[in-house]
Amino acid sequence: MSKVFRFKGGVHPRDRKELSRDKAIEPAPLPERLVVPLSQHIGAPCEPVVSQGDTVKKGQKIGEARGFVSVPVHAPTSGKVIKIDSFPHPLGKDLPAIEIEPDGLDTCADGAGGQEDFASLSPDELRAIIREKGIVGMGGATFPTHVKLSPPEGKPIDTLIINGAECEPYLTADYRLMLEEPEKVITGMRIMKTILGVERAFIAIEKNKPEAIDAVKGVLGPDSREATVVPLEVKYPQGAEKQLIKTIVNREVPPSGGLPMDVGVLVQNVGTAAAVDQAVRLGIPLIERVVTVTGEGIREPKNLRVRIGTPVGSLLEACGGFRETPGKLVLGGPMMGISQYTTEVPVIKGTSGVLVLPRSRVRLEEARTCIRCGTCVRVCPMNLLPNFIGTFASRGLFDQAERYYALDCIECGSCAFSCPAKIPLVHLIKYAKAEIMAKKRKK
Amino acid sequence: MIEAVLTLSGIGLVASLGLGLAARKFAVRRNPLIERVEQILPGANCGACGTAGCSAFAKAVVEGEAPLNACVPGGQEVARLIAELMGAAVPSTESYVAVLLCKGGKGEARSKFEYDGVSDCRAAVLVSGGDKGCAYGCLGLGTCERVCPFGAIHMDEDGLPVIDRETCTGCGVCVKNCPKGVLLLAPREASVHIRCHSHDKGAQVKRVCTVGCIGCGACVRICPYEAITLDDGLAVMDYTRCRQCGLCVDSCPTGNITSLVSQTPKARIDPERCKGHALCEAACPVDAISGEPGKTRLVDEERCIGCRICCSVCPVHAIAMVNPD
């Protein structure tokens, strides 16, 4: 077993995974309508290739990628296109999406099947399949996977890390996936190793998931040299890309714009690996994903296999509805997830969880004055000074905030989580980042 | 003793000579005009002129790189003083004032959720576009109030900014900083404003706000000067055409259009335009208009009740409603 390193900072929130960790993945019921956003990834949004009134089949491409950093979207089931319009999007804006009314038949689109023997395909062919099947990073960042798998000349990758840390509290989607379908994750990893031509691979899992570690090790076999399973210290944000690289291979991604490929590492989420496996071996595009519906405000927390585009409201129904008056609805985990104001928002490729907190657990705390205790500085895994950046942002001194590397913040939320004065530090830093970026765009 | 005095005096002499030479050799030549221009400027460093601040503007003006009247807060008076200094002709300066294009305060507009973040509109807009149900509405967290270099804006109890037209210089800093684009620089003399900028369809506007523009077009139809047009479901005022008659104010079913004309306006006939059609005379309900056939009509201001009917019937748009001074 390889030596495990540590990254600086981080926090230890209660993980509360007990709510849903023992619930096997079950298929979510098909909703009455699906809303498939044309922008589900970082990069250029898709161009719709169907029009209102068209009938579509499951897996049919309905949005074409524009540009290299973009992937297509596919119909999650068969049915009719009702409308192409702006709909609420998990990011908080109204964005263009295709509304589909399922016909309940789930007829598959004809077309190329998969290639069981992926080794017979060239890396370029594999990359093309991954792009064509709309695969993006499913850990939440939704960066197109084929782009990550195409490192530029002069930046050789020597290590692949499959990220099963799932350090966000409450979420158990990746855990259930590793437990129930470890072979998909491993095959996906093999495909990505073939594309990159790397020898060394790690599968990183936090120690609070011993069953998942065993399941993955079971598929790899006792003396496997294909990959090393690394049990990680339980600490948030252990699953953040840069922190994971530091922990496993002890390399520091250069600050201010550095990428994992600068240190020869590629990190992919376990869900992405499983999706790559399905796309290559079976030819199935990314039209569904595992979503943890959880929180103290939901009657029956579950891990569901959900079609992309399913409105969150229908998932809440499938989980027995609200237990008491809801206080907060979050897409993603409690640390980095985005609060929603409507249950109409659809599940997208990057939605790992739906978290419902009851009103009684949501406290609206008044921010008080900074007492200069330095806790935020100590817990920041990026070695930033959140207190200073926050103060600059609240006074409108965005140039100063930029000089204090506001743009390096990964928005993990450790600072705001631990601030005793309840200062909304992440919000302030996000605000500074938005203003800095707006200024850069003007230039 | 004497050596010490001589040594120190010697050092002093050498040092002062050195300093004196350095001051001559490395002197930064600065046009004294720049300083004088800078003294005239308001010193708010608002940036409305397009340069980094008053100092930079003074330099640009003197070097001929900025127009004499580019200082918006200074207006005509400052332009005149600068022109005097520079010995140039006084350019005419248009004066603007900031206008809020939203009437949906806490009482009128519905909110989507409870916002509990940083108290600044530019930060709030990052959270699902802000808590206001209307995607276009004023968020009411007072960013404009804080950025205004002249203290011309204050937030009222309803959560909307109130702009003091006297203090507002039209520098546009608030307009630039409003993340919802709900502020507009309008000509100072304009007094009729459409106070909404929502392009949502009428039904959606009704759902989220009681005073928003529903795009019914009543104002468009009633305006005798074609100053209002419907742009994607929103009535938009063309200030160059508006004659402030105020007919649109009463026509708006949601009470969205406001007029600053407080006194009863009186009809005034432009003698150059009037062709003596006498349609106004026939239409006037109080017989306030009279005149000889084919000649310019005359208005009896004592009788005129400011109903504006004459404005709408005049085929040559010769009648405007004005405040008696």
Q: Which tens digit of pLDDT belongs to each residue from B217-253?
A: 999 998 877 899 999 999 999 999 887 777 788 889 9
pLDDT given at position A353: 96
Judged by a CB distance cut-off of 8 A, whether residue B118 touches chain A is: yes
What is the average pLDDT across B139-152?
94
Judged by a CB distance cut-off of 8 A, whether residue A92 touches chain B is: yes
Judged by a CB distance cut-off of 8 A, whether residue A401 touches chain B is: no
Tell me the C-alpha distance between A268 and A141, whole Å. Answer: 11
pLDDT given at position A1: 47
Tell me the C-alpha distance between A410 and A400, whole Å. Answer: 18
Strand partners, B186: B97
3-state secondary structure of A202: strand
Judged by a CB distance cut-off of 8 A, whether residue B113 touches chain A is: yes
Cβ–Cβ below 8 Å for B123 and A428: yes
Judging contacts by C-beta atoms under 8 Å, the chain B residues touching residue A364 are 114, 116
Which residues are CB-neighbours of B63 under 8 A, at least 6 positions away?
none
For residue B311, pLDDT beyond 70: yes
Q: How confident is the model at residue B155 (pLDDT cuts 50, 70, 90)?
A: very high
What ranges make up the beta strands (E) of A60-211? 61-64, 73-74, 79-88, 94-102, 159-164, 200-206
Tell me the C-alpha distance between B28 and B25, whole Å. Answer: 9
Judging contacts by C-beta atoms under 8 Å, the chain A residues touching residue B126 are 92, 427, 430-431, 434
Structure tokens that stand for B80 in this block:
């005149």
Judged by a CB distance cut-off of 8 A, whether residue B110 touches chain A is: no
What is the average pLDDT across B24-32?
85
What number of other Cβ atoms are within 10 A of residue A229's Cβ?
Answer: 19
Cβ–Cβ below 8 Å for A427 and B135: no
Optimal mutation site among B113, B127, B128, interface A, most CBs of chain A within 10 A: B128
Judging contacts by C-beta atoms under 8 Å, the chain A residues touching residue B110 are none
The owner of tokens 């609805």 is A329
Tell me the C-alpha distance between A162 and A145, whole Å. Answer: 13
Average pLDDT, chain B: 89
Strand partners, A204: A163, A230
Tell me the C-alpha distance between B73 and B149, whole Å. Answer: 10
Q: Note which residues in 246-285 of chain B have CB less than 8 A from chain A.
A: none
**Which of A92, A396, A427 lies closest to B117 in CB terms?**
A427
What ranges make up the beta strands (E) of B145-199? 153-155, 161-163, 183-187, 192-194
Residue range B88-144, pLDDT digits in tens: 888 777 889 999 999 999 889 999 998 988 999 999 999 999 999 999 999 999 999
Question: H or E stretch including B251?
Answer: helix B247-251
Judged by a CB distance cut-off of 8 A, whether residue A341 touches chain B is: yes
Question: H or E stretch including A100?
Answer: strand A94-102
Distance from CA of A428 to the nearest CA of B (A): 7
What ranges make up the beta strands (E) of B37-133? 96-100
Max Cα-Cα span within chain A = 63
Tell me the C-alpha distance between B169 and B161, whole Å. Answer: 16
Q: What's the burial of A166, exposed, middle or buried (CB within 10 Å: 0-12/13-18/19+)?
A: buried
Optimal mutation site among B45, B116, B139, interface A, most CBs of chain A within 10 A: B116
Which residues are CB-neighbours of A22 under 8 A, at least 6 positions away?
none
Judged by a CB distance cut-off of 8 A, whether residue B128 touches chain A is: yes
For residue B325, pLDDT beyond 80: no
Structure tokens that stand for A407 in this block:
């743009």
Max Cα-Cα span within chain B = 111
**Which of A94, A424, A434 lies closest to B117 in CB terms?**
A424
Judged by a CB distance cut-off of 8 A, whether residue B52 touches chain A is: no
**Which of A92, A396, A435 lies closest to B129 in CB terms?**
A92
pLDDT given at position A3: 65
For residue B8, pLDDT beyond 70: yes
Judging contacts by C-beta atoms under 8 Å, the chain B residues touching residue A394 are 118, 120
Q: Scanning every residue of chain B, which has its alpha carbon at the shortest distance from the alpha carbon of A92? A: B128
The owner of tokens 């003007």 is A442
Judging contacts by C-beta atoms under 8 Å, the chain A residues touching residue B117 are 424, 427
Cβ–Cβ below 8 Å for A339 and B113: yes
Per-residue pLDDT of chain A (443 residues; tens, 9 = 90+): 456 788 999 999 999 999 999 999 999 999 999 999 999 998 889 999 999 999 999 999 999 998 889 999 999 999 999 999 999 999 988 899 999 999 988 888 876 677 888 888 999 999 999 999 999 999 888 999 999 999 998 899 999 999 999 999 999 999 999 999 999 999 999 999 999 999 999 999 999 999 999 999 999 988 888 999 999 999 999 999 999 999 999 999 999 989 999 999 999 999 999 999 999 999 999 999 999 999 999 999 999 999 999 999 999 999 999 999 999 999 999 999 999 999 999 999 999 999 999 999 888 888 999 999 999 999 999 999 999 999 999 998 999 999 999 999 999 999 999 999 999 999 999 999 999 999 999 87
Judging contacts by C-beta atoms under 8 Å, the chain B residues touching residue A396 are 146-147
Strand partners, A95: A87
Q: Note which residues in 146-175 of chain B have CB less than 8 A from chain A.
A: 146-147
Q: Cα Rg for chain A, rounded, in angstroms?
A: 21
Angle at Cα B176 formed by Cα B228 and Cα A395, nearest 5°?
145
Q: Scanning every residue of chain A, which has its alpha carbon at the shortest distance from the alpha carbon of B125? A: A431
Tell me the C-alpha distance between A141 and A148, whole Å. Answer: 12
Q: Scanning every residue of chain B, which has its alpha carbon at the shortest distance from the alpha carbon of A329? A: B113
One-character DSSP codes across A35-61:
EEES--SSSSPPEE-S-TT-EE-BT-E
Question: H or E stretch including A132?
Answer: helix A123-132
Residue range B251-290, pLDDT digits in tens: 899 999 988 876 667 888 888 888 888 888 888 877 889 8
